[in-house]
Amino acid sequence: MKLYAYGIDVGGTTVKCGLFGTDGTFYEGWEIPTVKDNGGAQIIPDIAAAIRSNMKERAIEIENVEGVGIGVPGPVREDGVVNGCVNLGWGVYDVRTELSGLLDGIRVEVANDANVAALGEMWRGGGQGYKNVVMVTLGTGVGGGIIINGKILHGAHGAGGEIGHITVNRNESKPCGCGKKGCLEQYASATGIARRAAEAMAAPGAPVSSLYNYDVVDARAVFDAAKTGDELALSVVQFACRTLGRACASITSVVDPDVIVIGGGVSRAGQILVDAIVKYYVQNAFTATRETPFKLAVLGNNAGMYGAVKMILD
Amino acid sequence: MKLYAYGIDVGGTTVKCGLFGTDGTFYEGWEIPTVKDNGGAQIIPDIAAAIRSNMKERAIEIENVEGVGIGVPGPVREDGVVNGCVNLGWGVYDVRTELSGLLDGIRVEVANDANVAALGEMWRGGGQGYKNVVMVTLGTGVGGGIIINGKILHGAHGAGGEIGHITVNRNESKPCGCGKKGCLEQYASATGIARRAAEAMAAPGAPVSSLYNYDVVDARAVFDAAKTGDELALSVVQFACRTLGRACASITSVVDPDVIVIGGGVSRAGQILVDAIVKYYVQNAFTATRETPFKLAVLGNNAGMYGAVKMILD
């Protein structure tokens, strides 16, 4: 194996780039802006240029680069073709071929960003020591990634691990971003938690709550208030975690992972979140999977970069 | 690769045995009784003896046997240890080591019977041409098997593909065999369909129905009557298939397979079953997975034998 590899995580605002040794050493990370003009046509050339420039700086020859792993915020098929990325302006786009072509034909692996983050957490984060991992990413939406035998489960349509769109409430009247109604994402995302809090605060007979003192009642405010014992905030947390715990019970009946890793911005709430999810998980899980451990993600925004390069190191 | 391999499917009453060429040719199948006395202690020695006897008959030397694949009706870990088989009287049992020891140390692979059937259907049945398959087995219970990249997803506790125990109804008062309430199996199994039919027939104001003329109203009777347009039978079929279609929508959001194969005794109802499942599946599936094809299983009771040997051929 050659000496170096790059891990790239494409976000809606910035692209995180990392230089790694193929022994797993992390040498350097940096960011470039995500230029979304012209249907995102510049993004991949910009990444190629950033890599070239880093190689020049460090006097790394292309012959010494094993490859580039890249995570993108959209569905990706196993062959490296992106099946549309609304956030970036991409339609169906063969990222693997394009990026490889710009870098003298070196090996490129492409995957969905949530899947890549799951791989990163397996390698160096909350899922370390395991090879079958379900990662649940609680951010603006609810994403997920599934690792089976150390490899990303891409899915036939690049939708492997799209657990945010499991239907959990058949009586929901408001549509999810995906067009369906009652998706997990509508209740367990940061957005869903804030919405639930606003509803609870507006409800007649709502209890006294410190949440009324916040300028913005977001998921973070809800967890902060819950940690002080605020009754209303606690009920919102319990609601989100009940929904999550039940959904995780369905997921483990299907894939029976070694571990479930909880990540994304909402996971900064910490152990209070995990404890509440586990409480409802245990009540709903199939016997054999009842003791599946839950761990907090540890790599934060670097998980994607780590997971991306791991695709090359395998 | 050597010339021969055996595929074994252990059932509660009989053990199905098959001799295959390692090129995939099926030479011969036969059955032996499953002797469940003494905690099922005789089952594996009986299988070893049946294989020895077949080898002798055909003058096959052990040096020419690549291995034995075996499916058992219980959870199996990836290391070939069975995690308890209530039906056979087995506790935790290292079937791989035991059977291999009885056959001069040849390669043995062990897996859960529903998982093995899924592999068989992928290889030679309804999932042919695909390598990512979810199989739903509708029998006395609801089983399942998941194949990712051509390999069985065993799961950390041998519970991979235990889709019958996804909770689909939080208001159920009767317990499932697993101890939980509201499992998919309670509605979509042959037993569940018969139960629903009995309830519908006993309900006040139930429509006129040919089902009242049957001595035994089992799942088969329900589908037979539904095919004649019987209103009550059709409503029972729609109920089971709505539950199944929704559950399949959750499953594809998680693993996004190439195909879903419907098997088990209930699947003999044929296209009427698939059509009704697909109707509800499409309404509930995440956009990217909405067109995932559904196929009927084709190998029937031989799926296990085929899948078992396939573990050896891979």
Residues of chain A with CATH 3.30.420.40: 4-120+302-313, 129-298
Q: What is the mean pLDDT of each run of 10 residues along chain A (314 residues)?
A: 96 95 96 95 98 98 97 91 89 96 97 96 96 95 95 94 94 92 96 97 95 96 97 97 97 97 96 97 94 97 97 94
The CATH label, of 3.30.70.1350, 3.30.420.40, 3.40.50.300, 1.25.40.10, for the domain at A129-298 is: 3.30.420.40
For residue B252, give both structure tokens.
């594809």
Residues of chain A found within 8 Å of residue B256, distances taken between Cβ atoms? 153-160, 162
Question: So what's the pLDDT on residue B120?
Answer: 98
How much is the ipTM here? Answer: 0.92
Contact status of A126 with chain B (Cβ, < 8 Å): no
The residue of chain B with its CA nearest to that of A83 is: B288
CATH, range B4-120+302-313: 3.30.420.40
Residues of chain B with CATH 3.30.420.40: 4-120+302-313, 130-298
In B, residues 287-306, which contact A (CB 8 Å cutoff)?
287-289, 292
Contact status of A161 with chain B (Cβ, < 8 Å): yes
Contact status of B146 with chain A (Cβ, < 8 Å): yes
Q: How far is A32 from chain B (nearest CA, A)?
A: 30
10 Å CB burial of residue B256 (0-12, 13-18, 19+) is buried
Look at B254 and A157 and tell me if their CB atoms are within 8 Å: no
Category of A172 on φ-ψ map: left (φ > 0), alpha (ψ -120 to 50) or beta: beta
| pLDDT tens digits, B10-57 | 998 999 999 999 999 999 999 999 999 999 999 999 999 999 999 999
Residues of chain B found within 8 Å of residue A286, distances taken between Cβ atoms? 159, 162, 165, 178, 180
Second-level CATH architecture of B130-298 = 2-Layer Sandwich (3.30)
Q: How far is B293 from chain A (nearest CA, A)?
A: 11
| pLDDT tens digits, B138-197 | 998 999 999 999 999 999 999 999 999 999 999 999 999 889 999 999 999 999 999 999
Q: How far is B283 from chain A (nearest CA, A)?
A: 9
Q: How far is A28 from chain B (nearest CA, A)?
A: 34
Contact status of B49 with chain A (Cβ, < 8 Å): no
Question: So what's the pLDDT on residue A83?
Answer: 86
Contact status of A175 with chain B (Cβ, < 8 Å): no
Contact status of B161 with chain A (Cβ, < 8 Å): yes
